Amino acid sequence: MKDINENNDDMGRIVSAAEAVIELEAFDAEMDAIFEHDKKLGCITINVAYPYRIELNRITDPESVVRWVHHLTEKTWMTTELVHEFIERVYDIKGWKLYGKKS
């Protein structure tokens, strides 16, 4: 997995819409493999260096997401791309809007 902050020779390259869709689908599949939401157990597991399980009942509001992000950034395997994905997935699971008012 490439970190979005890495120097990337592909930056600025032009791709067709079909290629962009294929790349996006591959990225989504990779993130789905890394982030596992277990509704039955009520947790999200981040599978990178090892399975890292977080009980979703410990994330009660957006402020607690910030605390978790702070904690996760201390992990050597955590990347900016994974932090971004973690935030989006938790907000989606919780039914929170990332931008704007809560629904």
In the prediction, which pLDDT does 15 show? 87
Structural contact between residues 52 and 45, judged by C-beta atoms closer than 8 angstroms: yes
Closest by CA to 81, choosing from 23, 5, 28, 7, is: 5
In the prediction, which pLDDT does 7 show? 54
In the prediction, which pLDDT does 96 show? 96
101 within domain boundaries: no
User: Strand, coil or helix: what is 35?
Assistant: strand
- C-alpha 93: how far from chain center: 12
51 within domain boundaries: yes
Residue 75 is part of which domain span? 17-94
In the prediction, which pLDDT does 71 show? 98
In the prediction, which pLDDT does 55 show? 98
7 within domain boundaries: no
In the prediction, which pLDDT does 8 show? 57
6 within domain boundaries: no
Number of domains in the chain: 1
Instruction: Give the chain's residues under pLDDT 50.
Output: 4-5
Q: Which residue is listed with tokens 């090892």?
A: 50
3 within domain boundaries: no
In the prediction, which pLDDT does 62 show? 95
Closest by CA to 81, choosing from 39, 35, 40, 37, is: 35
